[in-house]
Every structure is written in C-alpha cells, then in structure tokens.
Structure 1
Amino acid sequence: MPEPAAISKELTIGELSQRSGVPASALRFYEREGLIGSRRTMGNQRRYHRSTLRRVAFIRASQSVGMPLSVIGDVLGFLPPDAPPTREFWVRASQCWSEEINARIEKMERMRDRFTECIGCGCLSFEQCTLVNPGDALGRQGSGARRLLEP
C-alpha cells in the first residue's frame, strides 16, 4: 500500500492565494507591511509557512471590523513569526480593540446625529455648521476660502 503524500509545511504564493481567497498582490503587500513573512528559495521564490493561512484569516477578519493594518500589525507583533493565531490570541486582540471599537461607534453615532441635524437645518452655512465647521474653527483662521487652500 503506498504511503499518503506528505503535507508540505510550506505554501507558494499561488497556493496561499488560492487557499485564503486573498489575491497574491495583497499577500505581497501584507508581507511588505510585516504582517506575514516568507522565506526565499534559491530561485528567489516565496515560501510561506502553513500557519500563514491563519494569519491571513486573522488579518481579513480584523479588517472586516474596521481595524487598520497598522493596528493589526501591532497585535500580530505579539506572535512569533510562524505561530498561528490561537483562540487565546483572538480573545486578547478583541480585548485590545474593544475600547477602540466602542470609541469608533460613539464617533459614528455623533456624526449621524450631527448629519441629521444638518439635513434638518438646511442652512449650508460654513459658519454655523457643526458638521463641516464645528465651533467655527475655520472663522478663527481669518476670512477667505480655507478649505480650498488646504493641500
């Protein structure tokens, strides 16, 4: 009876892309940003440890709740390079991000309420508008088209 084929501990970028559903271009970007790592073969081809699949899943899940890649990278920095995110790691990341997610929710609710007031107001006044110019901050900079002068 033939032996079953050994499961490779490494994946090519094409295999990682196919298995994760993430385009190879995004995987290369993640690598440039330090979110995932690879080793190079003698022919300079990338080889990813199998645990990278879980890292990519973590990255995508984190992005789906609005976490920026810089924040995701900070949390991934707690893991050794070839270690997959564990359940405990996910719980720790969630705890780290709860405060930030709650702050974002509060900010979005404030923006929604201000936007609703603006639509109801209909003033279109840059002096009075709490959405476009809260506290008339632009007026303190002097007269003129301040928004048009910004780079």
Structure 2
Amino acid sequence: MNTADFEIKTNIQISKPIAEVFEAIVDPQKMSNYFIANGSARLEEGKQVMWSFPEFEGEFPVNVKKIDANELIALTWDVEGTPFLVEMILTPRGDNATKLTVTEKSTAAERPSIQWLKNNTEGWANFSACLKAYLEYGINLRKGAFDFMNDDK
C-alpha cells in the first residue's frame, strides 16, 4: 500500500455457521433486520442494487463486483465520483462460528476519501456488531440508534 493510500478494516467472530452469515449479508430482507431499511434485490455478482438507510435520505447504488458463496462479497459504492471497494471475507471457525473481515479500500488519502473512510470505520464496525446481535440474539441494534441524526438542530 502506498503511504498516500489507506484502508479500513474490521473483524468480528459470529457464533453462527458460515452459510447463515453469508445469507444474512446477501439477502436484503435479512439485512433490513440489522443494517439497511430496504434493499432493491439480493446481492448477486455483476448486479447493481439500491440500499436505503433509516437515518439517511435517498437511495445508494451498490455495485456487486464478486460473490464467492460463503467466502467473499466484494462491492463498490462511491462518494462524489470516487469508487470505494468493500470486501467482506468469511472464514469458518469450526462448524458453528464465522470470522467476518470487512475491508474498505481507498484510492488516495485526500478529501473526500479521508472523511468517507473515517465515517465508515465506525460504520463497518457497527455493521459487524449489528449482524452479530441479529444472528445470535435476534435483535436489531440499529433500531432507534440513529434517531438523533434526524433531530432539528
């Protein structure tokens, strides 16, 4: 990695089999229980889907670059014309646990890339923790968590 480039990375172990974790990420109905408000379609290689979030206005295009079932989900989204690659790697940890590594890569350490990755460091850690809570305990940690973002200032 060039010293002018950087990336963010989060890791978490989820006490569920790898196939269950994979499905919770690629299925928009499952994902709406812990991350997005709505997804236009299942994540499939070569497709573009639209995600909406309860705390933000509008829809966000997500381009699915690569899917290896139960191993890898690679997608891009962009900010102000700069595409960011997100890779989710699933690694089995025995029969009933999965390590999830989420990496978001940047092309250069300059604005708006720095601000985007700064915010997404928190975002992908939140995604991972919410996925764990949903799969292991059936709860949605995001519900109401960002209501303050819609308050008048």
**Which bin holds the TM-score, normalised by the shorter protein?**
under 0.3
| TM-score between both structures, scaled by the size of structure 1 | 0.27
Structure with the bigger RCO (C-alpha within 8 Å, sep 6+) is 2
Structure whose residues are more often helix by fraction: 1
Structure label with greater radius of gyration: 1
Larger strand fraction of residues: 2
